[in-house]
Amino acid sequence: MNRQELIDQIFTKKTFLCVGLDTDIKKIPEHLLREDDPIFAFNKAIIDATAPYCVAYKPNLAFYESMGVKGWISFEATIKYLNENYPQHFIIADAKRGDIGNTSAMYARTFFEEMNIDALTVAPYMGEDSVTPFLQYEGKWVILLALTSNKGSHDFQLTTDAEGERLFEKVLRKSQEWGNADNMMYVVGATQGKMFEDIRKVAPDHFLLVPGIGAQGGSLEEVCRYGMTKDCGLIVNSSRAIIYADKTERFADVAAEEAKKVALQMAQLLP
């Protein structure tokens, strides 16, 4: 999906919500455990229920890998289901990959060519040749970690160099030599509040993928106040607060209600 198609989706549906499919076998409703593939059954129900209220889905690979081969089967089934039934939704594999060039190229082939995923989160520590293999695909995106939502984001990302530039700013600046606002986004945690202003100084046009509202405590209003652009420029993710809002047989309906609440807030906040 290219940038204009994403923007069109956002303004047509009046939402920039991404539903995080962090599906944990220990947290899904018990009755699903009778299914052949409980993880996929859960995802399918959540997707069908929340699709009108979001523009993107983001499975975090860790949750699937933790189940080994079975988890990969559920992951692939979920991606296939999304591709076949919701081609207008942007699919993000939250994988936080990044390796030497030939290995990154391998990851790119897997996620972009074979699975037809739209975007992949990538860790920047290994630099240019770990990122550029992901930028060779028309309509596909790298989402580079910049300023994350967790406490540990302070350990290295805020380190200031001799010229007064912080590491996350250097990541934003330097990576714009490799890609642009049509094939690159950045992860910026919702918990970073006013720091979005600093992000926008270096990356005024790029879309930002924003985790951390809901369970992690970030504020949607604050993110929009400091981070929104005329094109919206934000994809805001919520995982646990939506997908685990209810654990009975009504779980998908309740997830839809929660997603709808966030979407209504978002409609108010769009330019």
65 binds a copy of itself (CB under 8 A): yes
- Active-site residue, selected from the candidate residues 14, 70, 96, 174: 96
Q: Annotate 230-254 with b (16+ C-beta within 10 A) or e (fewer).
A: ebbbbbbbbbebbbbbeeeeebbeb
Query: Of 159 and 180, which has the nearer Cβ to a copy of itself?
Result: 159
Among 4, 33, 62, 247, binds a copy of itself (CB under 8 A): 62
- Strand partners of residue 93: 120
The reply on whether position 136 binds a copy of itself by CB under 8 A is: no
Contact between 66 and a copy of itself (CB under 8 A)?
yes
What is the C-alpha separation between 181 and 237, in angstroms, rounded?
A: 19
Mark whether 230 is an active-site residue. Answer: no
Cα–Cα distance, 42 to 63 (Å, whole number): 13
How far apart (Å, rounded) are the C-alpha atoms in residues 232 and 18?
14
| SS3 (DSSP) at 66 | coil
The only residue of 7, 32, 73, 181 in contact with a copy of itself, by rule CB under 8 A: 73
Phi-psi region of 217 (alpha: psi -120 to 50; beta: other; left: phi over 0): left
Q: Please report where in the chains the tokens 């992690």 appear, as a residue.
A: 216
Tokens of 111: 């996620």
Q: What is the DSSP letter of 244?
A: T
Q: Give the shortest CB-195-to-a copy of itself separation in angstroms.
A: 15
Q: Which stretch binds a copy of itself (CB under 8 A): 27-35, 38-46, 148-156, 226-234?
A: 148-156
Structure tokens at 158: 């805020």
Residue 167 makes contact with a copy of itself by CB under 8 A: yes
Span near a copy of itself by CB under 8 A; candidates 27-35, 122-130, 228-236, 245-253: 122-130
Segment (H or E) for 58: strand 56-59
Choice from 103, 176, 229, 265 touching a copy of itself (CB under 8 A): 103
DSSP category for residue 213: B
Question: Quick check: 148 binds a copy of itself (CB under 8 A)?
Answer: yes
Name which of 184 and 256 has its Cβ closer to a copy of itself: 184
Residues marked active site are found at 96
Q: Where do contacts with a copy of itself occur on this chain (CB under 8 A)?
A: 22, 24, 60, 62-63, 65-66, 68-69, 72-73, 76, 96-101, 103-104, 106-107, 109-110, 114-115, 123-131, 145, 148-157, 159-162, 164, 167, 170-171, 174, 216
